[in-house]
Amino acid sequence: MDSKIVGLRSKLEIYKAGSGGGNIADCPVRDVIQGISNKWSSLLMMALAEKPYRFGELRRLVPDISQRMLTQTLHDLQRDGYVHREVFPTKPPSVEYSLTDLGRSMFGPLHQLLQWAELNHGAVRDARNAFDATET
Amino acid sequence: MDSKIVGLRSKLEIYKAGSGGGNIADCPVRDVIQGISNKWSSLLMMALAEKPYRFGELRRLVPDISQRMLTQTLHDLQRDGYVHREVFPTKPPSVEYSLTDLGRSMFGPLHQLLQWAELNHGAVRDARNAFDATET
DNA sequence: TAGTGCTGGTCTCTTTTTGAGACTTATATA
DNA sequence: TATATAAGTCTCAAAAAGAGACCAGCACTA
């Protein structure tokens, strides 16, 4: 399996697929993607792909996330099965977050996208500058 | 190039990389990723990867997007260089949106993620059900 | 000639989501 | 006694998204 686009024909079908009907709004693939298409998910996935972290460590690692959104994003990632949450009975109790097998599996393709971003952020920046220049 | 995770060690460095300093908040990779990590971008990228579409066609293709968000998301994708917008002097004027080379390039890894979602949405759904069952 | 519809939007208003920051509970340390 | 730490929760303000009316220019219809 290479990284070429396979089956250019029915990409929308993939998004639609599984719901049986033709309603693209309740498509399971879209449902999965939207669970990770938000401001903080990929960032936290990447942090946890490196190693497990505790709540406070993540907060310090990503200084511009609010405690509220850190709690909520970790909770959502846990609900979708990407992240495991474990409480240790220290005093005060500490909580460790780590990727599950499913999380590591999902991080594979996500990592490809992150690498693309690393290689191409210059091109994106240039496109933005050019665009902003033309519309005054 | 295969789909394995290369260089497990410094993933956060990728997110941080390029800005020179150590401030993860203004990291160019994060900047690129956040441009496409929103509710509608990946869906529109996928539609346009299939073939160019006109504004009204996209609106009918994705019935639950508001006209306002369709305009805005296409504008943002155009600004980042993924999408080309062309006005045809018909009456009334029609506007066609298509992927640029950069857009097609980015769609490669994005497509990998979409395929992962297609293969694993069952596991995610199961995880959600299990999670929701335990927290009553 | 007035009415209707099509195009690709914009404008305004309401609802939802996010952000900032104080507050909590229980323990340990100074 | 005062302060700190852990992992959150709660409240309020700000930002973003959704709903739907409205717009201009032209073609077609009645």
- Predicted pLDDT at B122: 96
- Predicted pLDDT at B32: 96
In this structure, are residues B86 and B94 in contact, taking their beta carbons and an 8 Å threshold? no
Q: What is the mean pLDDT of residues B18-23?
A: 60
Residue A95 bridge partners (DSSP): A87
Residues at the strand C interface (Cβ < 7 Å): A 38-40, 64-69, 72, 91-92; B 54-56, 67-68, 71, 74, 85, 92-95
Mean pLDDT for all residues in chain A: 88
| Percent of chain B's residues with pLDDT above 90 | 76
pLDDT of B75 > 90? The answer is yes
What H or E segment, with its residue span, contains residue A124?
Answer: helix A101-134
CA B55 to chain A, closest CA, distance in angstroms equals 17
3-class state of residue A38 by DSSP: coil
| E-only strand ranges, chain A | 53-54, 83-88, 94-99
pLDDT per residue as tens digits for the range A116-125: 999 999 999 9
Residues in chain A, total: 136
Please provide residue A85's backbone torsions phi and psi, each rounded to the nearest 5 degrees: -115, 125
Whether domain A22-133 has CATH 1.10.10.10: the reply is yes
What H or E segment, with its residue span, contains residue A19?
Answer: none
- Predicted pLDDT at B15: 80
pLDDT of A18 > 70? The answer is no
Q: What is the mean pLDDT of residues B25-52?
A: 94
pLDDT of B108 > 80? The answer is yes
Q: What is the mean pLDDT of residues B3-32?
A: 68
Q: Where are chain B's structural domains?
A: 22-133
pLDDT of A2 > 60? The answer is no
Q: What is the mean pLDDT of residues B36-50?
A: 96
In this structure, are residues B54 and B92 in contact, taking their beta carbons and an 8 Å threshold? no
Name, in order, each residue with C-beta under 8 angstroms of B28's C-beta and a sequence gap of 6 or more: A117, A121, A125, B17, B18, B19
* CB environment A89-99: b (16+ within 10 A), e (fewer): eeeeeeeebeb
Q: What is the mean pLDDT of residues B95-106?
A: 98
CA B52 to chain A, closest CA, distance in angstroms equals 13
pLDDT of B7 > 70? The answer is no
Task: Pick the more confident residue, B37 or A15.
Answer: B37
- Predicted pLDDT at B70: 98
Q: What is the mean pLDDT of residues B109-122?
A: 96
- Predicted pLDDT at B23: 73
Which residues of chain B have a CB within 8 Å of the CB of A32? 117, 120-121, 124
Residue holding tokens 């504004």?
Answer: B55
* CB environment B58-68: b (16+ within 10 A), e (fewer): beeebeebeee
Residue holding tokens 């997007």?
Answer: B65
pLDDT of B90 > 70? The answer is yes
Going by pLDDT thresholds of 50, 70 and 90, the confidence category of residue B134 is: confident
Instruction: Report ipTM (2 d.p.).
Output: 0.89
- Predicted pLDDT at A11: 65
Which residues of chain B have a CB within 8 Å of the CB of A8? 49-50
Q: Closest nucleotide to residue B67 (Cα to C1')?
A: C9
Query: Out of A3-12, A60-69, B68-77, which region has the weakest mean confidence (pLDDT)?
Result: A3-12
